Every structure is written in C-alpha cells, then in structure tokens.
C-alpha cells in the first residue's frame, strides 16, 4: 500500500515535470486548456501570442529556435517544408511546457500546384471545383508541415484599381459567400487533425477591400448597414462554415483601425457570431496603430489591440515587450490575456498538434504535384476563363489551321505563370501558353512566336516582327495583360488600361485584317474599350496558375467550351468606378433626354461588361419561368423553375443566375441582388428544367436601426445568364 502511494506521488511528480496534456485524453479540450493555462507564466502566455516570420527560404531564423526552446514562440508564418518545420518544432518541444508551434503560410490558391487566382476561380461560379482545389492545396500544405493558411480572403472589392481584387471573389456578397464556404470546407474538411487538412482564416476583418480610391492600406468610411449587409456577409458565412481563424485588416474602419476595433472583434465576431476560434493581426498591424494615430507608442498599441480582441500579434512584438507591464498596471486584465491564449491553444488542440506535432518527412515527396492535382489545376483554369467576345465564331481555332502566330511576351514567360501569392509554386513546373499551344497542335501546325515587345512593352521596335508573323499566319493569338508584380498586394493602379504599348501592338496586328484572338492574362478588370469594339475575339484567362497554358490551349482549340462568368464588373473607364451591378436606385434614375437625372455627360452609365457575363461556343435559351407561389410567408420558401435549352451545336455549360429586387422597403434596396445560381452542363440540342429555391428569410436586409429584418412586400425576380437581362416575374412576401 505504502509502495503504491510512493509510486503515485512519483508519477504525479513526473506529470508535473512533463505535463503531457494529450496523455490525459479523458479530459475535454477546455479542461486541457485550463490545466495548461494554470501552469503557464505570464511571459509564456505572451509567447503564445507572438507570431514571427521565417526567412525567405522557409527556414526559421536562429533567434526563433532560441525563443521556441523557452516556450516563447506560439506560431510562425512562412516557415515551411517538412524538415524546417520539424526542426523548429523539435526546439519547441524542448521547452518547459512543450506546447507545439502552429505553422502558418499564405496558401491562397495552391501550395505547389498553383490554381488560378481566386478572382478567376470565382469566375467558374463552381463551388465544388473551388472546394476541391482548396482541398488539394491543404493536402500539399500539410505535407510540408503547415497547419494554417491565411485564406480565404473574403473581402468584397468593387474597385479594380485595388491590386488585391485578384485575391478575392469580386464584388458580390452572395457569390462571395458561396466561395468563402467552399474554401473553408476544402481547406479544413470536417477534422483538422487529418494530415491533409489545414485551418483556414477569413481575412481581412473588415472592409479592407473598400479602401478609398482603390489605394491599398487606405482608409474606409462606410455605413454600418453597408458593412453588415454587404462586406461582412462572406465573413459570417465563413464563420458559419466553421472557419478556425480570422485576420484583422490594415485599414481603419470609420476611424478605428480594424486591429484595435472592439466593435468588429468583440461585439460582432465574438458577441453576435459566437466565434471561438482565433484572431490574428495582419503583418505588423498592431504596431501600425501608432501610424494610424490611435496609439502614442508600442505599449498603447499592444493595449488597444489586446483589449479589442486581437489574439495573435503577427511580426511586431508589442505584446511580448509590454504585456507584463500592461497586466501589472491593470491596463490589460489577465483575463484578457488568458482569453487570447485560450483561443490559440484551442486551435492547437483542434489541429491535433499535441498528439502529432511533427509531420512525416516522406509525405511531401508523395504529395506535391501529384498528376491528379495538376489535372485538377488544368480543369479549374478552363472553368475560370470568360469568353468576352466571339464575333462570327472566331473561336475556337480549327486544329487543321496550317500556320499560327503567337504574339506577346506574356505568352511564354515562365515567371509570369506565377503571380502574387504563388505559394511555393515553381516557375519550372508551369506550362506557358505557347508551350500549351505547341502540345495541343503537335507537328501538324507551324507556329511562329514573336514577343512584339518585352514584358513592360515600353518600345515598339519589334512590332514589325510580330506584324509580319501575323500577316503570314492563318490565325494569330495575341497574349496581353498584366505582369505578376502589378497585381496583388501594394499594387494599386490609377489607370487600368493594358500597360505599356500593348494596345498599339494589337492595333498594328489588327490593321492587317487577318483573323486573330486576344487572350487576356491579368489580375483585375481592365479598361479594354478598343478591344471590345474592334477585336474579333477576347478570352479573359486571368492569372491561371501552373496549368494555365494547356488550359488556354484547350479552350482556344475547342477541346473545352468556356463557361466562366464575370464575378466583377468591367468598367469603361476609371471615372465610372465604383461601378457594380447591385447599385442603389436613385431618386432620379437615368433618362437620356433629361439632363437632371443620374448620369455622366461623357460616358454611359453601363459597364463595358456586366457582372455575371460570359459567352460560350454554344448558345442557350431560357424559357418558361415558373414560381411555386406568388405569395410566401416570412418563414416560407419559394421555388423557381425554368427551362434551359442548348440551342447551338456544341455541348456546353451555362450558369443560370437569379436576381431579385425588393421594390419598396423601409430603406432603399439595390436594383438587383444575386440570390441563386445553377450551373448546368447540357449536350447540344438538349433541354432541361432546372430549379432554384429561396428561403424568405434570406431576402431580408439591415434596416435603419441596423437590425436584420424580412419585410413583407413585392419583389421582382429576374432569371438570366448575366446581371443585365433575363426572364422576369414577381412575388410577394406576406405577413406582418
Ligand atoms: C499581409 C497581408 O495583408 C495578409 O493578407 C497576409 O496574410 C500577411 N501579409 C502574411 O503574409
């Protein structure tokens, strides 16, 4: 008995020395967190709130090993690769409490196998495809020891001058929510412990995409109604899909920087939405509270961010350096620190890091760039392309054509197959458009490639060679657009024309009067009025990832039929911005003959290409719109049936879109709002009935008191294949 007692004392002592929380599997996660917290010093707690940046190659810096060994490094960004993450993890597990490190990285649209940019992926309007691509990205990322991606970026963006428009789902809250949920599901799955899943992060909370003038990092001033009714909608959808983390934004929202904004973080995110995941700042955004002019020094910056609810500080070190003093002086309560640490530890438990802190170093070799991943990237790229114009069936190009000219530096530039947020993709893995075309046509067709000008296209000295090539060819493919470095973060443009002399190059070729098509490769809507008016065919291919080249060839030569639809309005000029389809009505709607109505004197109100627009090599006809009822109660549902027929001679996919307009409400409602969609593949000549249903509760809005309400009244409905026209009917929500 005595021996047993001594053994028990000895065992408890061991447990104290090596607190293997995970061994006590009978405890709930919250109990495990409590136990750990009870053993942590304040300095160790602050260590869990510190995130530091690895070096360019993916290794941790020497200082980070030292911090990890004493338990003062909770997470990293950019440290990646199975060996590098395991090395640093080993150091963390030498620390007193052996709390594993959380490894984060920007896996935005692929890790090693690069998918199209998120704006392009959204143009597919295909949530299943987006989910699958995020799932592939997660498998690759976890295999190199990563646990956490700083994606999806769910910022609504209605200003194409903003470079980061490429990183999100475009202008619409409904489509943005569908894409947000798809990415959360793909990245996270249902069990974060799986070795092919990673935690996702909804960013940038909030309204970062509404930066004034489209200038990155700029201020945002917005009504609470627009914030809640538009900009927060995809964030809420991500939360409801179970996302594990949120990132604050660089901007200030109505004067209060997001990183120090208790209204966003405490009232909405934690209070109203009951989010129990973790919140990370953006890169040095805690320290930047000083430049924002709300904190006098780093101590105050730390105080504001902690009290507002920013759990982890990315890269700046104000928490670690001031946290102890802030707690001592009572400016930050220990309860607040504990709450933040709790959120970090909860994420680590959810990811299974205490049980399995290391990654199997063989996994990355068998996971990265699997052939099926490459194929998925190619399929995704095909689905992301939007056919903007195709006069007289210029496209697809016949495979029997004898001579082809390919023009444009972007057609064969490996480095530019990668773009902003290219993860760990390697240019040498990518196939360029020229290579894709060569693979496609084989030896049958002669191909002459001429750049015409270098990437920046600042000289026309080689235009002649390109024009000669086009003159001698039966068909010319001109690839133009934006290089990777003028799209993405800190890449705002005040002019969104084709950069350099690219338009002049197209005009010179156009003047020869031979058939050609323009392939656009860009990260944002461009002002391409001349092309829209004069060029016979325009294919928008975005920045399309590792397999973009073969995908472009698939579409150009008719092995695939384009089906993408614009997730963002293309303006005619920068002066029209902001221009988006879900605009508010005005008291003086446009009447061309009436001066005193809302319009410009020098340009139409309409965009160059509207939201939801995209052509196909076949044609579709919608008919026979039926509503299940003309009147639905507030708790009811309404079904819309419509017939769709493929009236052309090729199989093809159409995206049927359903828009509503709430005619009279207590506050003005947008002239149109997307509320449903259905992607349908139809064989040539076939007809099918499709159904879209809506819940009345989803037809509400935030009223003058910023309360979500569903008001009775009449709604117009439009079912079409873009946001400008379609079949129309109306219905009412009834009741009080
Ligand atoms: C700054 C960006 O705004 C954010 O989106 C990104 O996740 C971090 N840098 C980390 O790279």
Q: Report pLDDT digits (tens) over 428-451.
A: 999 999 999 999 998 889 999 999
Distance CA 595, CA 591 (A): 8
Kindly give the parts of the chain with pLDDT less than 70.
Answer: 1-24
CA nearest neighbour of 319 among 339, 333, 299:
299
CA nearest neighbour of 644 among 705, 689, 584, 611:
689
Site to probe by mutation for ligand 1, drawn from 51, 283, 422 as the one with most ligand atoms within 8 Å of Cβ, is 283
CA of 303 to the centre of ligand 1 (A): 22
Distance CA 474, CA 707 (A): 62
Domains of the chain: 380-576 (3.40.50.1700), 620-734 (2.60.40.10)
CA of 201 to the centre of ligand 1 (A): 11
Ligand 1 atom 4: the closest Cα is on which residue? 282
**For 410-430, what is the HEC assignment?**
HHHCCHHHCCCCCCCCCHHHC
- Please work out whether the CB of residue 282 comes within 6 Å of at least one atom of ligand 1: yes
Q: Residue 539 contacts by C-beta under 8 Å, 6 or more apart in sequence?
A: 385, 386, 387, 388, 395, 517, 518, 519, 520, 552, 555, 556, 562
Helical residues (DSSP H) of 56-213, grouped into ranges: 62-69, 82-92, 118-123, 127-143, 173-188
CA of 282 to the centre of ligand 1 (A): 6
Q: Residue 556 contacts by C-beta under 8 Å, 6 or more apart in sequence?
A: 395, 396, 397, 437, 440, 477, 517, 519, 539
CA nearest neighbour of 129 among 382, 426, 388:
382
CA of 694 to the centre of ligand 1 (A): 36
What tokens were used for 8? Answer: 């028990």
- Please work out whether the CB of residue 216 comes within 6 Å of at least one atom of ligand 1: no
Distance CA 148, CA 199 (A): 5
- Please work out whether the CB of residue 164 comes within 6 Å of at least one atom of ligand 1: no
Query: What is residue 368's three-state secondary structure?
Result: coil
- Please work out whether the CB of residue 125 comes within 6 Å of at least one atom of ligand 1: no
CA of 117 to the centre of ligand 1 (A): 16
Q: H helices then E strands: how many in the chain?
A: 22, 26
- Please work out whether the CB of residue 203 comes within 6 Å of at least one atom of ligand 1: yes
Pairing between strand 386-390 and 537-540? antiparallel
**Distance in angstroms between the alpha carbons of the first and the last residue of the chain:** 74
Q: What is the DSSP string of 146-160?
A: --EE---B------T
Distance CA 120, CA 167 (A): 9
CA of 456 to the centre of ligand 1 (A): 27
Q: Which residue's entry shows tokens 């350099």?
A: 500
CA of 384 to the centre of ligand 1 (A): 24
Site to probe by mutation for ligand 1, drawn from 205, 211, 247, 286 as the one with most ligand atoms within 8 Å of Cβ, is 247
Helical residues (DSSP H) of 495-650, grouped into ranges: 502-510, 529-534, 548-556
pTM recorded for the entire structure:
0.96
Ligand 1 atom nearest the C-alpha of 167 is 5
Ligand 1 atom nearest the C-alpha of 201 is 7
CA of 700 to the centre of ligand 1 (A): 33
Ligand 1 atom 7: the closest Cα is on which residue? 150
Tell me which DSSP letter residue 721 carries. Answer: S
CA nearest neighbour of 719 among 653, 621, 634:
621
- Strand order through the sheet with 637-646: 620-627, 637-646, 687-695
Ligand 1 atom 8: the closest Cα is on which residue? 283
CA of 497 to the centre of ligand 1 (A): 27
CA of 222 to the centre of ligand 1 (A): 23
CA of 289 to the centre of ligand 1 (A): 16
Q: Are 147 and 353 in contact (CB under 8 A)?
A: yes
- Please work out whether the CB of residue 77 comes within 6 Å of at least one atom of ligand 1: yes
Strands (E), 351-493: 386-390, 403-407, 446-450, 475-481
DSSP element (H, E) containing 289: helix 289-292
**For 654-672, what is the HEC assignment?**
EEEEEEEEECCCCCCCCCC
Site to probe by mutation for ligand 1, drawn from 206, 489, 490 as the one with most ligand atoms within 8 Å of Cβ, is 489
Q: Does 458 qualify as catalytic in the annotation?
A: no
Ligand 1 atom nearest the C-alpha of 249 is 3
Site to probe by mutation for ligand 1, drawn from 75, 104, 106, 281 as the one with most ligand atoms within 8 Å of Cβ, is 106
Ligand 1 atom nearest the C-alpha of 151 is 7
Query: What is residue 448's three-state secondary structure?
Result: strand
CA nearest neighbour of 487 among 459, 457, 521:
521
Q: Compute the half-sphere exposure of residue 643: CA atoms within 13 Å on the CB side of its CA.
A: 7
Query: What pLDDT does residue 26 have?
Result: 86
Query: What is residue 673's three-state secondary structure?
Result: strand
Say how many residues make up the chain: 736
Bridge partners of 450? 407
Ligand 1 atom 1: the closest Cα is on which residue? 283
Of the listed 126, 172, 216, 282, which one is catalytic?
Answer: 282
CA nearest neighbour of 195 among 388, 362, 429:
362
- Please work out whether the CB of residue 159 comes within 6 Å of at least one atom of ligand 1: no
- Please work out whether the CB of residue 167 comes within 6 Å of at least one atom of ligand 1: no
Ligand 1 atom nearest the C-alpha of 150 is 7
- Please work out whether the CB of residue 150 comes within 6 Å of at least one atom of ligand 1: yes
Ligand 1 atom nearest the C-alpha of 78 is 11
- Please work out whether the CB of residue 106 comes within 6 Å of at least one atom of ligand 1: yes
Ligand 1 atom 10: the closest Cα is on which residue? 283
Q: Are 688 and 623 in contact (CB under 8 A)?
A: no
- Strand order through the sheet with 475-481: 386-390, 537-540, 516-521, 475-481, 403-407, 446-450
Could you count the other beta carbons within 10 Å of the beta carbon of residue 193? 13
What tokens were used for 686? Answer: 């076939």
CA-to-CA separations, 250 to 259, 266, 279, 309, 580, in angstroms, rounded: 7, 18, 14, 15, 24
CA of 542 to the centre of ligand 1 (A): 21
Per-residue pLDDT tens over the stretch 501-527: 999 999 999 999 999 999 999 999 999
Distance CA 542, CA 487 (A): 11
Ligand 1 atom nearest the C-alpha of 204 is 5
CA nearest neighbour of 396 among 219, 559, 265:
559
Q: What is the DSSP string of 692-718?
A: EEEEGGGG-EE-TTS-EE---EEEEEE
- Please work out whether the CB of residue 283 comes within 6 Å of at least one atom of ligand 1: yes
Q: Residue 147 contacts by C-beta under 8 Å, 6 or more apart in sequence?
A: 102, 103, 104, 198, 199, 351, 353
Site to probe by mutation for ligand 1, drawn from 282, 287, 424, 490 as the one with most ligand atoms within 8 Å of Cβ, is 282
Q: Are 243 and 201 in contact (CB under 8 A)?
A: yes
């Amino acid at each position: 008995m005595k021996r047993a007692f001594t053994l028990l004392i000895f065992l408890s002592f061991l447990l104290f020395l090596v607190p293997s929380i995970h061994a006590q599997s009978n405890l709930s996660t919250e109990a495990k967190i409590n136990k750990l917290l009870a053993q942590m010093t304040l300095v160790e707690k602050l260590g869990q709130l510190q995130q530091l940046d690895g070096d360019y190659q993916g290794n941790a810096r020497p200082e980070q090993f030292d911090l990890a060994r004493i338990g003062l490094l909770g997470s990293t960004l950019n440290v990646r690769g199975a060996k590098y993450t395991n090395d640093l993890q080993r150091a963390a597990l030498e620390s007193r409490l052996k709390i594993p490190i959380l490894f984060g990285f920007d896996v935005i649209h692929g890790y090693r196998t690069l998918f199209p940019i998120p704006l392009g992926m959204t143009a597919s309007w295909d949530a299943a495809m987006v989910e699958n691509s995020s799932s592939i990205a997660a498998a690759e990322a976890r295999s190199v020891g990563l646990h956490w991606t700083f994606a999806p970026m769910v910022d609504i963006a209605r200003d194409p001058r903003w470079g980061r428009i490429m990183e999100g789902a475009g202008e619409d809250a409904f489509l943005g929510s569908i894409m947000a949920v798809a990415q959360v599901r793909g990245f996270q799955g249902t069990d974060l412990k799986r070795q092919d899943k990673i935690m996702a992060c909804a960013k940038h909370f909030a309204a970062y995409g509404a930066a004034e003038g489209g200038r990155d990092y700029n201020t945002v001033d917005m009504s609470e109604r627009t914030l809640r009714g538009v900009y927060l909608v995809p964030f809420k959808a991500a939360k409801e899909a179970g996302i594990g983390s949120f990132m604050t934004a660089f901007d200030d929202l109505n004067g209060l920087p997001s990183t120090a904004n208790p209204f966003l973080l405490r009232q909405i995110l934690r209070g109203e939405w009951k989010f129990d995941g973790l919140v990370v700042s953006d890169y040095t955004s805690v320290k930047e509270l000083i430049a924002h002019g709300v904190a006098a020094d780093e101590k105050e910056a730390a105080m504001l961010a902690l009290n507002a609810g920013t759990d982890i500080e990315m890269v700046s070190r104000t928490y670690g350096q001031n946290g102890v003093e802030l707690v001592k002086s009572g400016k930050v309560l220990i309860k607040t620190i504990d709450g933040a640490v709790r959120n970090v530890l909860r994420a680590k438990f959810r990811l299974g890091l205490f049980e399995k802190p290391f990654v199997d170093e063989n996994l990355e070799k068998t996971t990265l760039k699997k052939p099926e991943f490459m194929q998925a990237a190619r399929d995704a790229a095909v689905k992301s392309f939007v056919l903007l114009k195709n006069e007289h069936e210029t496209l697809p190009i016949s495979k029997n054509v004898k001579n082809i000219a390919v023009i444009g530096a972007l057609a064969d530039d490996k480095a530019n197959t990668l773009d902003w947020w290219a993860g760990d993709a390697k240019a040498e893995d990518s196939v360029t458009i020229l290579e894709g075309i060569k693979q496609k046509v084989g030896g049958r067709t002669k191909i002459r490639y001429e750049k015409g000008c270098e990437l920046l296209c600042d000289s026309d000295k080689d235009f002649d060679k390109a024009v000669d090539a086009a003159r001698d060819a039966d068909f010319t493919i001109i690839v133009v657009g934006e290089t990777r470095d003028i799209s993405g973060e800190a890449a705002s443009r005040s002019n969104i024309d084709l950069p350099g002399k690219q338009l002049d190059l197209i005009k010179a070729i156009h003047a020869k009067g031979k058939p050609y098509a323009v392939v656009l490769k860009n990260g944002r809507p461009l002002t391409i009025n001349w092309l829209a008016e004069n060029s016979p065919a325009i294919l928008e291919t975005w920045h399309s990832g590792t397999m973009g080249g073969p995908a472009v060839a698939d579409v150009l030569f008719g092995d695939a039929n384009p089906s993408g639809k614009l997730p963002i309005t293309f303006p005619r000029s920068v002066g029209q911005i902001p221009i988006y389809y879900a605009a508010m009505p005005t008291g003086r709607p446009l009447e061309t003959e009436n001066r005193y109505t809302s319009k410009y004197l020098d340009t139409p109100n309409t965009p160059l290409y509207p939201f939801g627009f995209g052509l196909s090599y076949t044609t579709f006809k919608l008919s026979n719109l039926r509503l299940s009822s003309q009147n639905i109660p507030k708790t009811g549902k309404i079904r819309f049936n419509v017939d769709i027929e493929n009236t052309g001679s090729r199989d093809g996919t159409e995206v049927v879109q359903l828009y509503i307009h709430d005619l009279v409400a207590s506050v003005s409602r947008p002239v149109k709002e997307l509320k449903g969609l259905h992607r349908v593949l139809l064989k040539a000549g076939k007809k099918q009935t499709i159904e879209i249903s809506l819940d009345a509760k989803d037809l509400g809005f935030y009223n003058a008191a910023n309360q979500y309400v569903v008001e009775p009244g009449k709604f117009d409905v439009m079912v079409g294949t873009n946001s400008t026209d379609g079949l129309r009917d109306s219905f009412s929500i009834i009741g009080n």
